[in-house]
Amino acid sequence: MMYRPSLKSNRSMIILLCLAIVLFYIAQTCYIQVKTDNYEVKIAAAQLMKTAIDTLSTELHKRNIEIDPIDDPLKTGLIGTRLSSITTDRGLLSEKRASINPNLAAVFVDELAKLKLVPGDYVAVGITGSNPSVNLALYSAIKVMGLNPKIIVALSSASYGANRPELTWLDIESILKSKGIFDFGSSYASFGGKEDLGIGLSDNGIKALREAMQRNNVPLLVGKDLEDNINIRMVAYEELIPEGERYKVFINIGTSIANVGSEPNANLIPEGINRNLAEHSYEKEGVIMKMAKNNIPILHFRRVLRWAKKYNLPTSFDTMPKVGEGKMYGLLIHNQTVNVICLAALIIAILVVIIFDRHDRRFMANIVDPDEEL
């Protein structure tokens, strides 16, 4: 005899419960990926950064510039040595390795897009030699977005950055410009380090920095003390844009003392887009604070590992990450079509049980007991 479901049957209730659990599991585990805004621009920026890394690596190989396979296992040339004549501070090797990720360029696109920038907008940029991979990521985003950067670099570097005297950030920048990867570069350079005067570096270190600026045709910005250096930078930024134009953002990479004002300030300034820094008090004002007082938004980017965590990027890898990986490209959301189908299936199953149950009740009610008729 064929099984007929019933609301009074334990078997029917157990089958409905199991079906509900299975459908709930299917609905909860089915996701689709939705592309975020500016997806194509982000992909293009990441691909450009990967091209820049590959191009630089190839050129360094041609020039027989030594790359440490232990510190720089991907052999990019973007990781320097622990100590050199132009090293000013301690740097984390883990941060340098984590930043060699082409998808970091997409992070900058995502952040800059929040400011609704349009091609041709002027952006002021302050970088150091400490993390050349982050500089590459920013440059890639700027080029793909069609922005107009005015860049000043503090040329010395922390450990494992662009701290080889023969391969400073200006040298990396020049290689990539000569290969047509970027069509812009640093307008001025300072010594960086303490007081932005390279205090603590040896005479050989200062000489190496001067020689790097000369062979790459980038003028030196230097004053008598830190305050003077900050003011000189502000004047330089103003002179770099046409009269009547203004910067739409000041982008700071790292902890150049001239930009942040003091080492404690570097920790106090929130990473990311800042629109109200002018309302806060700092012990010393660097370029960031002066720009903020001119109503210019600030993008502060300092610790790569924090950004990797925010955008779900790997912090350690043995092979180059693929372009397109990361939270900034898309979001996983529940598949609403699957959810509706699962809900409809459960409702239909319940209705079937109810219909059979009511049909059987009416059938039993219509049965006439022969004994009662008698």
- d(CA 253, CA 154) in angstroms, rounded, equals 10
361-369: long-range contacts (C-beta < 8 A, 24 or more apart)? Answer: none
Q: How many residues would you count in the chain?
A: 374
Positive or negative CA dihedral for 207, 179, 48, 185? positive
Q: How far apart are CA 15 and CA 164, in angstroms?
A: 71
Q: CA-CA-CA-CA torsion for 224, 229, 230, 236, nearest 10 degrees?
A: 130
Answer whether 153's CB lies under 8 Å from 251's CB.
no
* Order of strands, sheet of 186-190, starting from the edge strand that comes earlier in the sequence: 186-190, 148-154, 122-128, 249-253, 298-301, 272-274
Sheet strands (E) in 122-185: 122-128, 148-154, 157-158
pLDDT tens digits for range 166-215: 999 999 999 999 999 999 999 999 999 999 999 999 999 999 999 999 99
The token duo for 152 is 């000043």
B/e letters for 258-290, b = 16+ CB within 10 Å, e = fewer, are bbbbbeebbeebeeeebeebeeeebeebbbbbb
pLDDT score, position 370: 58
So what's the pLDDT on residue 12? 80
Give me 100's structure tokens: 């060699």
What is the reported pLDDT for 308? 95
Nearest Cα to Cα of residue 142 among 174, 98, 186, 99? 186
Nearest in space to 77 (alpha carbons), one of 210, 175, 198: 175
Residues 271, 320, 216: CA angle, nearest 5 degrees:
70
pLDDT at 54: 97
At residue 56, the pLDDT reads 96
Q: Would you state the structure tokens that stand for residue 255, as one six-digit string?
A: 């902890």
Distance, CA of 109 to chain centre: 8
DSSP letters, 229-294, are HHHHHHHHHHHTS-TT---SEEEEES--HHHHSSHHHHHHSPSEEES-GGGS--SS--HHHHHHHT
Contact 61, 143 (CB under 8 A): no
The distance from CA 51 to its chain's CA centroid, rounded to whole angstroms, is: 17
Rounded to two decimals, the pTM is 0.85
Cβ(84)–Cβ(165) below 8 Å: yes
Q: At what angle do helices 39-62 and 104-113 cross, to 10 degrees?
A: 140
pLDDT at site 300: 96
The overall longest dimension of the chain from CA atoms, in Å, is 125
Ranges of residues in the chain with a pLDDT under 50 are none
339-366 pLDDT per residue, tens: 999 999 989 888 888 888 777 777 777 6
- Residue 324, pLDDT score: 94
Classify strands 298-301 and 249-253 as parallel, antiparallel or unpaired: parallel
Instruction: Read off the DSSP letter of residue 194.
Output: B
Tokens at 326, concatenated: 């990361």
